[in-house]
């Protein structure tokens, strides 16, 4: 229910979110021992209209009970946007996503899709604004609903149901010969009470506990395939074997996995081979067999024009070896990038210049303990006097020369026989999963989880995975248009265009389609298989229940 505008009360602040100005009332100020400062406790009481007046929400009337006589505006806005509903309905049916949600979650499927659509359109996961969204948008659910209803829904979805959905979804995507890119990222949480929230190796906000999220992405068909959340303190390399076991339990066969160097270890390679999975792994340069293979290839790649790969502007060579005494051969693809090598050499020289300065400072400080300079021993000869004081240093020329000689080299190891060019082409396509994580964290608002219950976390991540599948399809559909006009056909711009598609209440108190589709809107909808006739039919179906109310 929406109400007529009122003046904005005192002790309020404005928070901008997705084009709206939300008003928060300061209730009290509390001291936070963790932050070591006073923190205001605030609650949302509505949002500002275009005239700077407050459109109150239900919380406003709890805090200002004398205002209960305000006129109600009605259940729905005069303009109802139907574009997001139309697009998500089309995509979810094309992918058989809707029918799978109905099969597993029954009457909860509509609300799940509504929340997923809201995440996509608002680009955040803050549920308290959902009823504002529902007020001006058509929904899968028959009626608008509030954040308290969402809380109950999140608490009602079971891990068993979500696992059944993922297993079924993987079965639908599982085809012979596909490659799955696998990666993980950490998501901060403001709630330390979550079981999975632990301090780990966060790149952003290391002072906050985190939950790790991993995603398996069908790189062949470009579809998010499965996900997993796990404690924030577990490192990527450790979780890799659990992922392999999970893939096996999902029934994945004849599948190859593509992983970056964070997952590279001999134990993980043996694990892939144990379950008969192919792999394409970026290696760590300090692995002994990689160093040896690189040394064997230095002269050939630097001087052998026959190894030049024109499409990538670098040199590549494949070495076939049995590395792990398992009876299986592996293929090491060694690459040399001359331009990158020169950049790396500059960085290496700058690094040793800085290390020289650090050692000079330590020498002048008369440091006695050898452990204070132990970290420099790999590339420096350190000398101490008879009393154990650090006296002098000298670079190890041989070791540094070897490091410089390896500049510009990198290696990929594969289980399947292929050329250096093929291995690099497949591996470089894995940047798609980096885009997927960017969608998840930036465009779906999951850089921080704002939940305090374990079951809510599980459910919210699950719904964001549904949103990820749908947004990924929107992204894929726009690729042809984006290549022609990179300014006009980004996903955020197109989402705003979806918002313009809608129906308007006129003086007869009924909703009408006021305008035909523009050429731009026709092109956007055409990419996902919607024509103007289908748009009009969908709008008429939306109008029927609106007019009855």
Per-domain residue ranges for the chain? Answer: 2-74, 339-405
Compute the residue count for the chain: 549
Q: What is the pLDDT of residue 424?
A: 93
Q: What is the pLDDT of residue 446?
A: 57
Q: Is the pLDDT of residue 162 over 70?
A: yes
Q: What is the pLDDT of residue 71?
A: 46
| Average pLDDT value over all residues in the chain | 85
| Burial grade of 12 (CB within 10 A; 0-12, 13-18, 19 or more) | middle
Cβ 388 vs Cβ 370: under 8 Å: yes
The DSSP result for 75-97, as a single string, is SS-SEEE-HHHHHHHHHHHHTTH
- Which helix (H) or strand (E) segment holds residue 155: the answer is helix 147-156
User: What is the distance between the alpha carbons of residues 234 and 227, in angstroms, rounded to a whole number?
Assistant: 16
Cβ 149 vs Cβ 185: under 8 Å: no
Give the model confidence (pLDDT) of 220-275 as tens digits: 888 999 988 877 667 766 778 888 888 888 888 888 899 888 888 888 888 888 88
Q: What is the pLDDT of residue 196?
A: 60
Q: What percent of the chain has a predicted confidence (pLDDT) above 70?
A: 88
| Burial grade of 106 (CB within 10 A; 0-12, 13-18, 19 or more) | exposed
Tell me how far the alpha carbon of residue 26 is from its chain's centroid. 33
Give the up-direction half-sphere exposure of residue 509: CA atoms within 13 A in the CB hemisphere: 4
Alpha helices, DSSP H only, in 157-281?
159-173, 236-249, 266-274
Q: Token digits for 533? A: 């006739």
Report the SS3 class of residue 532.
helix
Q: Is the pLDDT of residue 200 over 60?
A: no
Highest mean pLDDT among 160-164, 314-318, 369-373: 160-164
pLDDT band (50, 70, 90) for residue 517: very high
Q: What percent of the chain has a predicted confidence (pLDDT) above 90?
A: 40
Q: What is the pLDDT of residue 73?
A: 47
Stretch 161-178: mean pLDDT: 90
Q: What is the pLDDT of residue 405?
A: 86
pLDDT band (50, 70, 90) for residue 443: low
């Amino acid at each position: 229910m929406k109400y007529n505008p009122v003046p904005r009360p005192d002790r309020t602040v404005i928070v901008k979110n997705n084009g709206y100005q939300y008003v928060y009332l300061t209730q009290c100020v509390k001291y936070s021992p963790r932050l070591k400062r006073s923190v205001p406790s605030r609650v949302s009481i509505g949002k500002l209209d275009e005239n700077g007046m407050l459109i109150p929400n239900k919380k406003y009337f709890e805090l200002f009970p004398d205002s209960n006589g305000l006129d109600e505006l009605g259940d729905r806005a005069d303009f109802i946007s139907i574009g997001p509903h139309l697009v998500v309905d089309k995509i979810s049916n094309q992918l058989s996503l809707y029918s799978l949600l109905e099969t597993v979650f029954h009457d909860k499927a509509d609300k799940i899709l509504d929340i997923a659509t809201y995440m996509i359109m608002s680009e955040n996961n803050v549920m308290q604004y959902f009823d504002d969204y529902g007020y001006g948008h058509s929904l899968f659910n028959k009626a608008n609903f509030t954040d308290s209803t969402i809380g109950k829904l999140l608490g009602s979805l079971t891990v068993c149901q979500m696992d059944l959905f993922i297993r079924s979804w993987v079965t639908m995507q599982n085809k012979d010969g596909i490659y799955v890119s696998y990666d993980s990222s950490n998501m901060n949480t403001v709630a330390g009470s979550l079981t999975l929230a632990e301090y780990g190796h966060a790149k952003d906000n290391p002072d906050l506990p985190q939950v790790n999220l991993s995603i398996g992405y069908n790189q062949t068909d470009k579809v998010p395939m499965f996900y997993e959340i796990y404690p924030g303190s577990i490192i990527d390399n450790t979780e890799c074997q659990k992922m392999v076991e999970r893939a096996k339990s999902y029934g994945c066969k004849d599948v190859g996995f593509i992983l970056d160097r964070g997952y590279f270890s001999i134990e993980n390679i043996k694990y892939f081979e144990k379950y008969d999975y192919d792999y394409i792994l970026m290696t760590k340069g300090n692995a002994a067999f990689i160093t040896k293979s690189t040394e064997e290839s230095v002269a050939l790649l630097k001087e052998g024009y026959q190894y030049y790969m024109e499409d990538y502007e670098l040199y590549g060579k494949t070495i076939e070896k049995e590395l792990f005494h398992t009876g299986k051969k592996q293929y090491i693809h060694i690459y040399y990038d001359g331009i990158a090598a020169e950049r790396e050499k500059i960085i290496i020289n700058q690094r040793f210049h800085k290390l020289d300065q650090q050692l000079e400072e330590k020498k002048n400080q008369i440091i006695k303990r050898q452990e204070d300079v132990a970290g420099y021993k790999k590339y420096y000869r350190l000398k101490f006097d008879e009393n154990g004081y650090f006296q002098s240093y000298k670079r190890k020329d041989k070791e540094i020369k070897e490091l410089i000689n390896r500049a510009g080299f990198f290696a990929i190891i594969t289980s399947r026989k292929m050329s250096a060019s093929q291995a690099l082409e497949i591996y470089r396509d894995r940047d798609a999963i980096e885009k997927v994580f960017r969608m998840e964290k930036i465009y779906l608002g999951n850089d921080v989880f704002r939940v305090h219950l374990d079951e809510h976390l599980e459910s919210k991540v699950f719904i964001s995975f549904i949103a990820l599948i749908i947004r990924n399809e929107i992204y894929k559909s726009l690729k042809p248009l984006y290549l022609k006009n990179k300014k006009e056909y980004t996903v955020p711009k197109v989402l705003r265009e979806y918002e313009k598609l809608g129906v308007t209440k006129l003086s007869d108190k009924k909703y009408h389609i006021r305008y035909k589709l523009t050429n731009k809107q026709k092109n956007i909808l055409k990419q996902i298989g919607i024509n103007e006739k289908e748009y009009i039919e969908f709008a008429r179906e939306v109008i029927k229940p609106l007019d009855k109310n």
